[in-house]
């Protein structure tokens, strides 16, 4: 049994007292016998303070079920408890590994953060039914100011996954953060598209037949994401007859596969991308048997996504190409080239495997304005010249 509190009690909240922790004054709920000693959020009179106080007062008066902990200090019906349950859900299992890692990173950081700068209560110990929208807003606003609005947006997305667990478990009836909280990430240009100059520098540094050139060709000619470059297999290379828009039949060699993105959730988007002359030349120079993945490590193994990303960074640096030019930038460059050459939005969507035409907009915006504007005016000029002259009949 703990020692009775020696600190002065609050007149309106008899079991609440202050103490100094890490240089800050914090409020706590402490039962007369010292058996219950819990941190309280905020200040007396705050919504979250009153709710938490009432909860522990109820526990003190007879309900011990609420203070049973779920291993390693996890409180029942808390954000920490919700995380434990989330990791066991079927929904979590369907997420891609990189999506899991991103969400887990944000959730872990959130649970380890303090509710306020001058309070020792961590979010992992906050009961979700006691959640105060005011304190959640203050926390996310503080995060947006210290880090970025993009960070606040991603953390809020992760928090809402925990809130969905609470709803499913019937701890709460609805998610109070939605739609009351919203953060918009700052607009960015995204991945930098590769210029012709840098592409030439890379090709000179890494000749055809090297893994560096193979990875480059798969990204630049097919517009594949890094996950698809790493996972593309020889048995996905097929020969088929395709009916063209003019009705003619064309025999082509193409990679027929499903994208890695959303593969666990939706099976991944089906892709059929022909092997262009540039890519055919790069594939023909690859030594070894055509088994397993097209791109292999020096040990003959498949690259992981992270491993390929790190390796491509080294290859880019060897070609003396500045920072900021990633493998995804080759994908973006292909999209922009397609727009400049007059490809329709639907064609760009199908080549790059986007789920909507809206995702094609960045390529349209990224296309060089001088090229598009000049081509448009020259086309108009040529058509005007070809039009018959009007003859005025008197």
Residue 5 pLDDT class (50, 70, 90 cuts): very low
C-alpha–C-alpha distance, residues 212 and 297, integer Å: 10
Q: Within the chain, where are the H helices?
A: 47-60, 79-86, 90-94, 97-112, 133-146, 149-168, 196-205, 211-222, 226-231, 263-266, 277-284, 305-318, 327-340, 345-352, 361-366, 369-386
| Residue 133 and residue 240 share a domain | no
Selected residue with higher pLDDT from 183 and 324: 324
Q: What CATH number should be reported for the domain holding residue 341? A: 1.10.443.10
Q: Please give the pLDDT value at position 368.
A: 58
Q: Look at residue 2 and tell me if it is in a domain.
A: no
Contact (Cβ atoms closer than 8 angstroms) between residue 169 and residue 85: yes
| Mean pLDDT, residues 103-127 | 88
Selected residue with higher pLDDT from 202 and 188: 202
Q: Look at residue 299 and tell me if it is in a domain.
A: yes
| Residue 234 and residue 131 share a domain | no
| Residue 274 and residue 141 share a domain | no
| Residue 136 and residue 232 share a domain | no
Residue 45, classed as helix, strand or coil, is coil
| Residue 205 and residue 88 share a domain | no
Q: Please give the pLDDT value at position 21.
A: 67
Answering whether pTM is above 0.95, one says no
| Residue 240 and residue 128 share a domain | no
Percent of the chain with pLDDT over 70: 87
pLDDT for residue 2 is more than 50: no
| Residue 201 and residue 103 share a domain | no
pLDDT for residue 79 is more than 60: yes
State the chain's mean pLDDT as an integer. Answer: 84
| Residue 36 and residue 121 share a domain | yes
Q: Please give the pLDDT value at position 180.
A: 80
pLDDT for residue 388 is more than 60: yes
Write out the residue range of the structural domain in which residue 260 sits.
196-375
Q: Which residues are within 8 A (CB) of 386 and not within 5 positions of it... i.e. 6 or more apart?
A: none
Most confident of 50-64, 121-135, 311-325, 347-361: 311-325
| Mean pLDDT, residues 91-110 | 87
Q: Please give the pLDDT value at position 65.
A: 47
| Residue 214 and residue 145 share a domain | no
Dihedral sign from CA coordinates of 70, 76, 81, 84: positive
Selected residue with higher pLDDT from 299 and 55: 299
Backbone angles phi, psi at 236, to 5 degrees: -90, 0
C-alpha–C-alpha distance, residues 28 and 17, integer Å: 6
Q: Look at residue 178 and tell me if it is in a domain.
A: no
pLDDT for residue 353 is more than 60: yes
Question: Mind listing the pLDDT tens digit for each residue in 279-329?
Answer: 999 999 998 889 999 999 989 999 999 899 999 999 999 999 999 999 999
Q: Please give the pLDDT value at position 189.
A: 62
DSSP secondary structure, 310-326, as one string: HHHHHHHHHTTPPTT--
Q: Which of 13-27, 196-210, 295-309 has the lowest mean pLDDT?
A: 13-27
Selected residue with higher pLDDT from 347 and 295: 295
| Residue 272 and residue 326 share a domain | yes
Q: Please give the pLDDT value at position 68.
A: 47
pLDDT for residue 138 is more than 80: yes
Q: Please give the pLDDT value at position 389.
A: 64
| Mean pLDDT, residues 330-335 | 91
pLDDT for residue 66 is more than 60: no
| Residue 283 and residue 141 share a domain | no
The number of domains in the chain is 2
């Amino acid at each position: 049994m703990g020692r009775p509190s020696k600190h002065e009690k609050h007149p309106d909240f008899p079991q609440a007292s202050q103490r100094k922790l890490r240089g800050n004054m914090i409020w706590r709920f402490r039962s007369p016998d010292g058996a219950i000693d819990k941190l309280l959020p905020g200040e007396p009179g705050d919504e979250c303070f009153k709710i938490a106080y009432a909860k522990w007062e109820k526990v003190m008066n007879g309900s011990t079920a609420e203070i049973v902990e779920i291993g390693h200090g996890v409180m029942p019906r808390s954000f920490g408890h919700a995380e434990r349950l989330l990791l066991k859900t079927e929904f979590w299992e369907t997420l891609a590994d990189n999506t899991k890692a991103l969400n887990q990173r944000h959730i872990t950081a959130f649970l380890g953060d303090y509710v306020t700068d001058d309070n020792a209560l961590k979010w992992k110990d906050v009961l979700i039914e006691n959640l105060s929208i005011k304190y959640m807003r203050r926390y996310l606003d503080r995060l947006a100011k210290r880090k970025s609005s993009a960070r606040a947006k991603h953390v809020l997305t992760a928090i809402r996954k925990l809130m969905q667990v609470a709803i499913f478990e019937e701890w709460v009836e609805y998610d109070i953060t939605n739609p009351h909280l919203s953060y918009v990430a700052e607009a960015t240009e995204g991945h930098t598209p590769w210029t012709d100059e840098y592409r030439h520098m890379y090709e000179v540094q890494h000749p055809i037949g090297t893994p560096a050139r193979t990875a480059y060709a798969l990204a630049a000619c097919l517009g594949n994401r890094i996950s698809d470059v790493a996972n593309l297999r020889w048995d996905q290379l097929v020969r088929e007859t395709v009916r063209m828009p003019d009705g003619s039949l064309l025999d082509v060699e193409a990679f027929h596969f499903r994208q890695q993105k959303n593969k666990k959730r939706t099976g991944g988007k089906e892709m059929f991308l022909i092997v262009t002359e540039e890519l055919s030349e790069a594939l023909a120079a690859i030594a070894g048997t055509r088994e397993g993945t097209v791109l292999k490590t020096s040990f003959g193994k498949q690259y992981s996504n992270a491993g390929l990303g790190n390796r491509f960074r080294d290859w880019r640096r060897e070609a003396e190409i500045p920072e900021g030019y990633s493998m995804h930038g080759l994908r973006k460059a292909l999209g922009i080239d397609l727009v400049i050459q007059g490809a329709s939005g639907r064609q760009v969507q199908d080549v790059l495997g986007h789920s909507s035409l809206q995702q094609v907009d960045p390529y349209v915006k990224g296309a060089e304005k001088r090229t598009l504007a000049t081509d448009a005016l020259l086309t108009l000029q040529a058509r005007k010249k070809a039009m018959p002259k009007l003859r005025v009949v008197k």
